[in-house]
């Protein structure tokens, strides 16, 4: 490893003892070797550190934070701050990379040297069953491509998000790399999506590679997404206006549509998890007619899904 590696891989770690060796091993086994691996431990109590310390590799930098941060967002920000690489890659401690992930990202960065934000396809895995993400399924024949802000927002609204937390890269020199993730203690989920929105709204485009870079393990232990309450902290009007600052009218409309979709989805998630919920109507963005229309369409969609599940 050089003093200034091309990639800095950042793994936030909190109580992932059964999985972290898989995650670390997938980084160390990359076909592209010019990287450092920064593991930021958020005061794990389950033996996760013991698993990490079994690895003896000079590319590993094990760092510690005294107080756990929800969602690993503060740990990621810390990893960005101390990273030495030109590009920063993120990997959750319960996920893993395919061996050629960094190699493909390296090629992508040279094809589109002007970008500050990159991503790739990924697979989710649940009890041994793998499923490719919707965006990759649609565009896997496109090899390498640029996604601009309006298309990014459109695909997100269609539930075809081009990136996930374990298959994304940001350039260290990005003006917004510092404090990219929301470290507010009240934010326990949704911080990844917020970070990707910040990047695409500020930089106006990203590069995407049609390789499968990561496996997102849905059946892992201690997953925030299985318990944490969806809140409006990152979907209120203040955040919407902040992200809309440099967008044109079409992009602003698409961003508002995506916010409304996330508000409705978050409400349903709280219902499923039996968490304290919020008033959907009050938080949706738009006039009264639009709010009623969105709620009506959302109810129809839920009924349609339930009816189909009964038929199946």
The residue range of the domain holding 52 is 7-225
Q: What is the DSSP string of 167-229?
A: SEEEETT-TT-TT-S---TT--S-HHHHHHHHHHHHHSEEEEEEEEEEEEETT-SS-GGGTPP
- Give me the mean pLDDT over the 254-270 stretch: 96
Q: Is 203 found in the same domain as 273? A: no
pLDDT confidence of residue 226: 80
Res. 312: pLDDT tops 60: no
- The H or E element that residue 123 is part of is strand 117-126
Q: In the listed set 193, 225, 257, which residue is the last one of a domain according to the structure?
A: 225
Is residue 136, in this structure, part of any structural domain at all? Answer: yes
pLDDT tens digits for 58-95? 999 999 998 878 779 999 999 999 999 999 999 999 99
Q: CB–CB of 72/192 below 8 Å?
A: no
Kindly report the average pLDDT of the chain as a whole number: 94
Q: Is 245 found in the same domain as 139? A: no
Enter the pTM of the model.
0.95
- Give me the mean pLDDT over the 88-114 stretch: 98
Q: In the listed set 179, 203, 225, which residue is the last one of a domain according to the structure?
A: 225
Residue 217: closest CA among 172, 179, 261, 164: 164
State how far the Cα of 72 lies from the Cα of 65, in Å rounded to an integer: 11
Domain count, the chain: 2
pLDDT tens digits for 4-22? 999 999 999 999 999 999 9
Which pLDDT band, with edges at 50, 70 and 90, does 185 fall under?
A: low
Res. 275: pLDDT tops 80: yes
């Amino acid at each position: 490893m050089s003093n200034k590696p091309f990639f800095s891989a950042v793994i936030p770690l909190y109580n992932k003892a059964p999985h972290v060796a898989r995650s670390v091993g997938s980084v160390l086994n990359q076909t592209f070797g010019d990287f450092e691996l920064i593991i930021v431990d958020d005061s794990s109590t389950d033996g996760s550190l013991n698993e990490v310390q079994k690895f003896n590799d000079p590319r590993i930098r094990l760092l510690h934070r005294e107080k756990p941060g929800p969602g690993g967002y503060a740990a990621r920000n810390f990893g960005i701050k101390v990273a030495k690489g030109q590009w920063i890659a993120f990997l959750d401690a319960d996920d893993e990379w395919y061996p050629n992930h960094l190699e493909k990202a390296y090629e992508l960065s040279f094809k589109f040297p002007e970008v500050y934000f990159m991503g790739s396809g990924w697979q989710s895995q649940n009890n041994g069953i793998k499923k490719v993400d919707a965006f990759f399924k649609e565009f896997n024949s496109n090899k390498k491509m640029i996604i601009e802000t309006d298309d990014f927002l459109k695909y997100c609204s269609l539930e075809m998000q081009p990136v996930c937390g374990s298959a994304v890269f940001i350039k260290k020199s990005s003006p917004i790399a510092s404090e990219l993730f929301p470290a507010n203690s009240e934010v326990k989920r949704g911080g990844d999506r917020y970070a990707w929105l910040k990047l695409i709204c500020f930089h106006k485009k990203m590069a995407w590679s049609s390789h499968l870079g990561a496996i997102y393990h849905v059946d892992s232990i201690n997953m925030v997404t299985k318990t944490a309450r969806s809140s409006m902290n990152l979907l209120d009007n203040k955040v919407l206006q902040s992200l809309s600052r440099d967008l044109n009218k079409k992009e602003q409309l698409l961003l508002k549509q995506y916010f409304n979709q996330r508000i409705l989805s978050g409400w349903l998630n709280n219902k499923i998890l039996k968490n304290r919920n919020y008033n959907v109507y009050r938080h949706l963005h738009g006039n009264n007619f639009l709010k009623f229309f969105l709620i009506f369409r959302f109810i129809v969609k839920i009924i349609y899904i339930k009816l189909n599940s009964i038929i199946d």
